[in-house]
Amino acid sequence: MVETMRAYAEADSAAPAIELFEDVRIVRDGELLAVQGEGRRALLALLAIHAGRIVPVERILDALWEDEPPASASKIVQTYISQLRRLLEPGEGDEWQTLLTRASGYVLALEHEATDVGAFEAAVAAAMHGEPGATFADALVRWRGEPYAGIAQTFARAEAARLDTLHREARKGWCAERIAEGSPQETLAELESLARDEPHDERVAALRMEALWRAGRRSTALQEFETLRESLAEELGLDPGPDLAALHLRMLREELPQSPTPDVPARPSPATRLPRERTALIGREAHVEGLTELVESEPLVTIVGPGGAGKTRVALRIAHALARDGAVWWVPLAGMSDPAALPIHVGRAIGMPQQYESDPGDALAAWFRDRPGLLVLDNCEHLSEPVAAFAEELLARCPELRVLATSRVPLHVYGEHKWRIPALDLPEEETAESLVASASGRLLLERAGRAGGALVPDAAEAAHLVRVCRRLDGMPLALELAAARLGGMSAADLDEGLDARFRLLTDGDLGGPSQHRTLRATTEWSYQLLSTQQRALLDRMSVFVGPIGLAAATSVCSGDGLDEDDVPAVLADLVDRSVVERERDRYTLLETVREFGRENLRDALTAWETRHGEWVAALVERVGQGVQGATAEWTSELESHLLDARAAFDRALARGDVRLAMRLAGRGNWALLSIGRLLLLRSWVTRSLEAADGVEVPAGLRGEVELLAGAVAGFSGDLDGADRGLARARAHFEETGEVAETLWVDYWSAAMEAERGRYAHAVEKGRRAADEAAGRGLGAIEANLRAGVAEVALVASFALEDDAAMSRVVDEETVRGLALCEGQRFDEAQLRLETNAALSRALVAPDREHLDECLALVERWRAFGRGLRLAVLLPAVASISLRCGRPDTSATLTVEVLEVLGFLGWEAPLPPALRVAAVLGHADAPEDCARLLGAAGSRWSTYRWRVPCDAAEAESALRVTLGDARCDELMVEGARQPLVSAVEAATRVARAAAGADC
């Protein structure tokens, strides 16, 4: 190495060189000069590491004195500088050419290759890039021992560790060279040494396997793979990566020849210095097209998006496209940490000769001024502020230059055009067709094919792969890491393994930036760029599972170092940094970010989940109060937080917090009925009551859940179970003296009377409870009770053959109820009263005017969502449509109600819908319709808005068409067939009747 450095010095006697291996020494005029003193050696080493770049005085002080610099530290540094200058360039005067003073610090005006470690790095880089004549053997000749030996400061140890890693890569490269040259035997000792140091290094294992194979030791080569596989499984819980697995497979198939064919890598064009595009770019065609046009017209464009979204790949495709017509310079910034060195780094990357006589920024601007083209700055997020200042100044001085940046954070420069790269679109259904139709699915399949996975999945595999795409949010990096695993594991195992995604997705591109080699690395990279407050908010937001409003984030996540007033600004920063997604007034986390945040919370996770659960419970309670009045407003509020409500309930039961679970199940969950979540409500009520056995729970809270249990049982036709639940609820409310809740028990008790067909009892009970509510000033309860009484009376009026008394009750309760609602926001109660009146008028006079009134009410109920009320109203209006001679409208409504009931999982309104379908289709599908009549007659139906559909004429026609015996047989068959078969048949018949209107 001394000879190498002396040769460099002799080439230009005015330029000294620096040795940093083993000891810090200066080579000047062919003479080797020792540097005396630990401080001077450390300072020279620091300056040599940053050769060509200004090292600020503050940085020097921090590096030399890691604890607390002495008061005279600055003077000591000045003394060291003076002494080093005389060693580097002795002579008279102050015209120093090598160690220069700048306003903020000092710069060693030497090429990086003027140091022996710099020459080693350059040689390794040349070999890695396949430059003509460059070999790893030549690079290793330049390594002669421990770098920065005897220098204890942290900066030197860090550099030594980095160089050691580079030395290891060079050793691997040398082994690959010797194997390719036909001398595998020479590499075995070196590869064994490398394997001892890092037993899980798969590249070393691959080289060792190939060397053994080509040396004729085939069984030993295969055993090497088995040994590594067992070690990875036992110690890390991993399988070998796809490249190693593919090599093993080639050996098993005898596809690896005895003599190698040297693989000469394609070299990047020196004119553009662009990295190669090694894989297909999938799902980004529109972005590439739009960005290419934008880059050609705008001076500064920043591609922004979360880690792993594919910003670099998009930029690289644009760079290659534009390089055909003009100059393009590619500058990767991922490994750079010193903002002051940015101009020097860019200059080196683009091949600009180093200028020592002028400021690096000035030199760069002068160089670009006469060279129009595109400068690509890749991975800027960790240096966003200095890159912003650098780009702004460079563009101001070079009007013909354009800059394309990729960053997780916008640069916030005046005139910057930001282009956000979202995740890839996801499959809509769990089918192979949907998988292939989506960009995320195509990417997963294409990369899986490269790893040896299935390119044509069967139905079961496709369903698992769709779930993989969804669970990874369509993020390209995560999908590529997942695809790499498909070479050695099934789609089902991958789907299941994503529960531990940070351990599973670890095989990234060894040639890419370190932050892109594992899913954890790319997430950690973004996380490390955040401030303490930003990290705290991001971690705490991970307890949410659905979209998050600002008020929710503030309520749940503030405190413990994060003030409520700070949350809006911090949340905006997280959006800006592409770690939180925003759509209108809601914020979401990618699943990978959410899992990472939950891991960060560690022992505090339960506390933050509990706080989240308490917030959801308070929301549910507010909704419960609001539903009694302005239903549409509050049901939509609950719907938007339903995912979080589910998670809060499950977490509460899992940690044994029965009281919180019962609050979530019982308070306010009338809204769940309004939005049609009957099955969910039934599950919550059942599970919370089971968990409450033997647990001390307030009587009022238990009564609320028992009340809902009774109501849910009644909706399902279990009237005895409803009575038991309502009786228990009444006992609890009477114990606590909660009159309002007792009146709700009366409401549901009256409904159960009506379900049994005891309409007079139901009306009497409902009216009595309504009068009591009126006396106590409970307007919302009274309005709902009067709507319920009118509803029972409406059904009774035609069930009892136009009972005049019941018709009067409909009118009386409607008038009283609407008067009560006037000026109040009792939305649902008012709409129910208006619907009762409209249905009553339409039944008395089935004409176009009254049908249009009913159809307008259907539209208003749709505004509440697919709730239970819409489900019972649709078949009622469908029946009225038939009476009005509008079978087309009836058919359309029947198709809709069958879809709604499928969504709700509620059977009670189904018989009327089946009967209407049978009437509509009896002429075209007689056998289906006979079965539908049998199914309709054999199943229980709720009384709610049960408008009779006269099917006698249709049945008579069926008997003529089919014959009595066959018709009876089909009706019995329909009564016995599974419900899903009846629904499918009714849907088929109704769609055919609706035709183009459906």
Segment 514-536, tens digit of pLDDT: 444 445 555 665 666 678 898 89
Q: Parallel, antiparallel, or unpaired for β 105-108 and 99-101? A: antiparallel
* 3-class DSSP assignment, residue 29: coil
* Tally of domains in the chain: 6
Cα separation, 767 vs 764, in Å, equals 5
- Tell me: do 914 and 968 sit in the same domain: yes
Residues 593 and 616 in one domain: no
Residues 350 and 443 occupy one common structural domain: no
pLDDT at 709: 93
Half-sphere exposure of 91 (CA within 13 A, CB side): 10
Q: Which of 738, 769, 800 is the last residue of a domain?
A: 769
My answer on whether 93 and 11 are in the same domain is yes
Asked if residue 77 belongs to a domain, the reply is yes
Same domain, yes or no: 983 and 896: yes
Query: Do residue 932 and residue 991 come from a single domain?
Result: yes
> Which domain range does residue 340 map to?
285-420
Q: Residue 453 in contact with residue 479, Cβ under 8 Å? A: no
3-state helix, strand, coil in the chain (%, to 5): 65, 5, 30
User: Do 555 and 637 fall within a single domain?
Assistant: no
Secondary structure of 426-487 as H, E, C letters: CCCCCCHHHHHHCHHHHHHHHHHHHCCCCCCCCHHHHHHHHHHHHHCCCCHHHHHHHHHHCC
- CATH number, domain with residue 332: 3.40.50.300
Position 107 confidence tier, pLDDT thresholds 50, 70, 90: confident
Point out the domain boundary residue: 584, 603, 622.
603
Asked if residue 328 belongs to a domain, the reply is yes
Same domain, 75 and 19: yes
Tokens of 201: 């290094």
What the block records as the tokens of 463 is 């369903």
Q: Does some domain include residue 255?
A: no
Q: Evaluate if residue 991 carries a pLDDT over 70.
A: yes
Query: Of 39-53, 344-358, 501-515, 539-553, which range is least confident?
Result: 501-515
Number of alpha carbons in the 13 Å side-chain half-sphere of residue 346: 26
Contact 746, 765 (CB under 8 A): yes
pLDDT at 258: 58
Q: Is the same domain home to 592 and 699?
A: no
The predicted pLDDT at position 268 comes to: 36
The helix/strand/coil state of 30 is: coil
Q: What percentage of the chain has pLDDT greater than the value 70?
A: 86
Q: What CATH number is given to the structural domain containing 591?
A: 1.10.10.10
| pTM > 0.95 | no
User: How high is the pLDDT of residue 917?
Assistant: 94
Instruction: Please tell me whether residues 632 and 753 are part of one structural domain.
Output: yes
pLDDT value of position 11:
40
Confirm whether 189 is domain-assigned: no
| Closest C-alpha among 746, 717, 718, 716 to residue 730 | 746
* Same-domain check for residues 532 and 665: no
Which of 310-314, 382-386, 522-526, 566-570 has the lowest average pLDDT? 522-526
Take residue 719 and report the two structure tokens written for it: 């009237």
Q: Look up residue 487 and give its amino acid.
A: G
Q: Supply 568's token pair.
A: 């809006």
Is 921 within the bounds of a domain?
A: yes
Same-domain status, 293 and 440: no
Cβ burial 249-281 (10 Å sphere, 16+ → b, else e): eebeeeebeeebeeeeeeeeeeebbbbeeeeeb
∠ CA 667-669-670, rounded to 5°: 115
**Degrees to nearest 5, angle at CA 497 with 492 and 499:** 125
Task: Reply yes or no on whether the pLDDT at 705 is more than 90.
Answer: yes
Confidence bin at 235 (pLDDT 50/70/90): low
Last residue of some domain: 507, 534, 559? 507
Single-letter code of the amino acid located at 709: A
